[in-house]
Structure 1
Amino acid sequence: MSGLKDALPPLREVVAAHGLAAKKALGQNFLFDLNLTGRIARAADPAHAELIIEIGPGPGGLTRALLAEGARKIIAIEQDARCLPALEEIAAHYPGRLDILHGDALSLDLALLIAGRAPARICANLPYNIGTALLTRWIETEPWPPWYDRLVLMFQREVADRIVATPARRTDYGRLAVLCNWRCETRILFDVSPAAFTPPPKVTSAVVELVPRAAPLACDRRRLSAVTQAAFGQRRKMLRQSLRSLGGDKTESLIEAVGLVPTMRAEEVDVAGFVALANTFSANTDSSMHR
């Protein structure tokens, strides 16, 4: 089913007809390659999803691929009003299967938006300027398991590397990797050349899949966020220094209590280690408050 066609005009003609040009301020890069949009769509397996949410569809290249691959219902959220007429043409071609929402995804509560239709599946060529912020919000959502069952997202390759990183790859491993891999199974599916986009970005992109874990290691999200922020915020320092703002004089003993060495640095600690630290520091904070 590679490169499925849908009887709509080629996307380049649609873009030309509506006078669309990608806006750098909105992080836009349009995808015209049918083989590529089809590959991304198939990775999301839209025919077996109750609802697909797409962020930043632009003129609708990936939207069309998702529908051609069997998506029963898509909510496409687009901030750029110039793209709405092109998306409305797609909606008319697929009656009842595409809802278009004009708005900023960062300001929307998607859990509320899909109330009663969960779980949803998110598939998107995310605008580069808001991609990490959106992902962090989705990973930190409560309650868990979340309102989505899979994320298939395109990022700059360097961001994708940070999402899937482990302590074995210290230059990429950081707070984002800990949070993502605590709650999800992550993997890079494939790279996307700059030549696939109009205009071509200066960097390679990658499609990443995140599948929520049904039962991640027990931990308070806010405490884990605080511990990782402190540790990686001063990643060149040893844990006994970077975590001192959270543990005070007990910092070293708290680190040792979970089987870690106070002279370790953040990039040496795996996800389970950070969860243990978060739980131990949290318990210390709680006990101090009740004295």
Structure 2
Amino acid sequence: MGPQAKLAAFRLPPLPTVGEIIKLFGLRAQKQLSQNFLLDLRLTDKIVRKTGDLKNAHVYEVGPGPGAFTRSILNAQVADLLVVEKDTRFIPGLQMLSDAAPGKLRIVHGDVLTFKVERMFPEHLKRRWEDDPPNVYIIGNLPFSVSTPLIIKWLENISKRDGPFVYGRTQMTLTFQKEVAERLTAGTGNKQRSRLSIMAQYLCKVDNSFIIPGRAFVPKPEVDVGVVHFTPLVQPQINQPFKLVEKVVQSTFQFRRKYCHHGIGILFPQAERSKNTEKMLMLADVDPTLRPSQLSILHFKNLCDVYRKMCDENPNLFAYNFREELKQKKREKPKKETDESDLD
């Protein structure tokens, strides 16, 4: 089959442009919801191509808005597209796309942070975790306010192999503020290295596909936008529960400009902080004078493994929260004596 015949297999019929849909339904982007629309279909086509070969694939699109990505996904000849949109104003425009692509587009009015996708695609698509990724893909151009909490939620799903990952190592292509995209992909020693870098990279192969200039969006955001592609790893680089890894990583980056022993120290109550911090760093073979951004995934693996052993030996340790201890001290001390030096 030649390329022209292949393209003719499915193409959306002529429709109003995304810009016309926005005018037709009065869809102004709401600043308080950090909404920004991408109207250039050449760009949305490019992003969809970066996702992989979507012919006959099953796609879960989050935050479709006025439907620019939705059009590009449908034109990629997918078998099935499920979109979840929280804002009711966008449903009529999406319905227009559904009418133009009979049997291809399912629209759910719901919140991606709580929506359960586990039973939305056929059982036969499920693959073993060790196999190649399933023919299921996630694509999203989410409001910035939602994208970070959602990727953390999905990373936890990856660690548990539930949610969208009951089908196997489902690949994701998502947009983020450029700075967040850089954090997700930052390597050891990079100034953008952060909690997000470790949490994403210990579970996924993370690629910063390309940057979209802010001017391509309506309204134009104050920052450029990064497109990030995630493929879950067969074996996570840290083999500990997600919440434990998250606690160690968050604590370590609490004082990102200081030596790493400051952040690691807040994993322990004040009374035994110095002794336990020294013990943890020594057993994990981590130099206490490295900055958090200089720690590799292997450093974090060692830190998490040692912390797990310490928690197994002391069942109350994991529940310890240094902020609660600070609050308690504040309540006990006269106001003028309160020492906030630990908060930096």
Instruction: Determine if the TM-score, normalized by the shorter chain, exceeds 0.5.
Output: yes
1:143 aligns with 2:160: yes
Aligned twin of 1:63: 70
Alignment partner of 2:303 out of 260, 268, 277: 277
Alignment partner of 2:278 out of 252, 262, 266: 252
Superposed CA deviations along residues 133-166 of structure 1, whole A, max 9, x for unmatched, are 1011101114238345211011111110010012
Alignment partner of 2:38 out of 13, 31, 37: 31
Contact 1:258 1:277 (8 Å CA) reproduced? yes
Contact 2:204 2:232 (8 Å CA) reproduced? yes
1:169-184 matched pairs, under 5 angstroms: 169-170=190-191, 172-184=192-204
Corresponding pairs, count: 288
1:1-291 matched pairs, under 5 angstroms: 6-45=13-52, 47-48=54-55, 50-111=57-118, 113-114=120-121, 116=123, 118=126, 119=134, 120-141=136-157, 142-144=159-161, 146-147=165-166, 148-170=169-191, 172-217=192-237, 218-247=239-268, 248=273, 249-289=275-315
| Cα displacement (A) at 1:239 | 2.9
Specify the SS of the correspondent of 1:211: strand
| Cα displacement (A) at 1:288 | 2.8
Superposed CA deviations along residues 235-256 of structure 1, whole A, max 9, x for unmatched, are 2333333222325322212212
| Cα displacement (A) at 1:115 | 7.5
- Assess, with a 3 A threshold, how the Cα gap between structure 1 residues 48 and 156 changes in structure 2: closer, same or farther: same
Aligned-pair Cα RMSD in Å: 2.2
Gaps in structure 2 of 5+ consecutive residues: 4-10, 127-133, 317-344
Contact 2:12 2:101 (8 Å CA) reproduced? no
Q: How far apart, in 1, do the equivalents of 2:304 and 2:55 lie?
A: 37
Q: How far apart, in 1, do the equivalents of 2:209 and 2:12 lie?
A: 23
Letter paired with 2:280: L
Question: Could you say which structure has the greater relative contact order, defined with CA pairs below 8 angstroms and 6 or more residues apart?
Answer: 1
Gaps in structure 1 of 5+ consecutive residues: none
Letter paired with 1:86: G
Larger radius of gyration: 2
| Cα displacement (A) at 1:32 | 1.4
TM-score (norm 1): 0.91
Letter paired with 1:125: N
Q: How far apart, in 2, do the equivalents of 1:102 and 1:223 lie?
A: 34
TM-score (norm 2): 0.78
Q: How far apart, in 1, do the equivalents of 2:263 and 2:222 lie?
A: 35
Q: How far apart, in 2, do the equivalents of 1:83 and 1:35 lie?
A: 21
- Assess, with a 3 A threshold, how the Cα gap between structure 1 residues 272 and 6 changes in structure 2: closer, same or farther: farther
Contact 2:189 2:295 (8 Å CA) reproduced? no
| Cα displacement (A) at 1:112 | 5.2
Specify the SS of the correspondent of 2:175: strand
| Cα displacement (A) at 1:179 | 0.4
- Assess, with a 3 A threshold, how the Cα gap between structure 1 residues 223 and 115 changes in structure 2: closer, same or farther: farther
Superposed CA deviations along residues 152-192 of structure 1, whole A, max 9, x for unmatched, are 0111111100100122212x111100000000111111111
- Assess, with a 3 A threshold, how the Cα gap between structure 1 residues 10 and 240 changes in structure 2: closer, same or farther: closer
Specify the SS of the correspondent of 1:140: helix
